[in-house]
Structure 1
């Protein structure tokens, strides 16, 4: 599944904390990712994400630098509608079976999906009680889905790990390059060392 940029949604992507989780907010992951790359770093977000990323590393063996980098890219430094309203820092959707074992609910949002033609649709996204739960679900998904099995042997090489994950995580051919750029620019590799 590929996310496309829908015209006229730029201003709707990043929302204030006070905004309700209304269906009129459009989820456009390509736009969120573009905004994340252009934004100034948010030390407060990184301070909140660091313990969650380290916990994923301890529980699932995923490099904390990769988890933090992907969360920055997928949530626009924690400012996307999904992150603000539903603590969903990775853009995960619900499945036909529901929210899964960690998420607590599903929330509908208008979005645009391309398969291969782009069209507006409504999708259900996972709702979490906390940032920690969102990060744990990321760790669970990456380590249990056969889509990402090729990444797991490279846990000691964050760049290679995210390169393997990116092959199935996103259709953007520059996805891994973007995550690696965030890891380099914001010294996220330091999260892979013991505290």
Structure 2
């Protein structure tokens, strides 16, 4: 009888232990399931937060804030204020030289350079040193590259250096009659120049002039015009040191210059640039030619030393 009681007790104990283990095992499975779901939700939250952070950063970078700006005339790029300022400091000297030699305000040249080249970060400026988006056009015999702008795979000019691009930009404006009205504007009338460029068809962007004006005012580029106007002896708002397009161009080949006694004024000449060429001062040129101002006409013959 005792043996039967012991056997029955043992069986009951085994059944009880098995039931507990089963219960514990079930709890463990459910706990793992709960942990897995919580982890999954946490991962989702992290992904969503990361996505929102990227969206916020994109909006910050691509906004016209003090930290960055979108430049999209020829190559759409996002650049920082520091990049724009460094670009201006790098090329302001070349722009000012071109203002003296070719009559184009330094502010306009710099603003176009910043916009068209994406402050030197655009595809054309990096691959072809083309800082002004100048296309090949009829008669271009220099190297070129293909770039999609208004149409796919358009032909753009390629240069050996940015300085060459800056010089060609000046010659491009000086040498085309559709831009001739610009050279009747005062050198400090950057708004007139910006609107004139758009009107003459330099760019198809309807906001092109506004973008140039905005860059000039935001980065005080007109200060570089004033510096050169002081050197050239020009008064603000007065048309003096530009060129009269209606007068005939007299080729230099018709004038004997071997003795260096005269100089024929050509498009792009200023009294300052002529004086530098012949190692004279502006006042000496004016006195020798009985000039009271600095206005020049294409084809005009000046006496020199």
Identify whether the pair has TM-score above 0.5, normalized to the shorter chain.
yes
Aligned to 2:112: 70
- Give me the CA root mean square deviation: 2.2
Q: TM-score, normalised by structure 1?
A: 0.72
Structure (1 or 2) with the larger CA radius of gyration: 2
SS of 2:81's equivalent in the other structure is coil
The Cα of 1:193 is off from its aligned counterpart by 2.3
Q: Would the aligned equivalents of 1:61 and 1:155 in 2 still touch at CA under 8 Å? A: no
Q: Higher helix share goes to which structure?
A: 2
Aligned to 2:100: 58
Q: TM-score, normalised by structure 2?
A: 0.47
Stretches of structure 2 lacking an aligned partner (at least 5 in a row): 1-71, 229-305
The Cα of 1:97 is off from its aligned counterpart by 2.6
Judged with a 3 Å threshold, the aligned counterparts in structure 2 of structure 1 residues 192 and 150 are, in CA distance, closer, same or farther, namely same
Judged with a 3 Å threshold, the aligned counterparts in structure 2 of structure 1 residues 175 and 41 are, in CA distance, closer, same or farther, namely farther
Judged with a 3 Å threshold, the aligned counterparts in structure 2 of structure 1 residues 60 and 182 are, in CA distance, closer, same or farther, namely same
Greater RCO, CA 8 A, separation 6+: 1
Q: Would the aligned equivalents of 1:151 and 1:162 in 2 still touch at CA under 8 Å? A: no
Correspondence 1:14-163 to 2 at 5 A = 30=73, 32=75, 35=77, 39-42=80-83, 43-99=85-141, 104-109=142-147, 111-113=148-150, 121-156=152-187, 157-163=189-195
Matched residue pairs, number? 155
Q: 2:210 aligns with which of 149, 161, 177?
A: 177
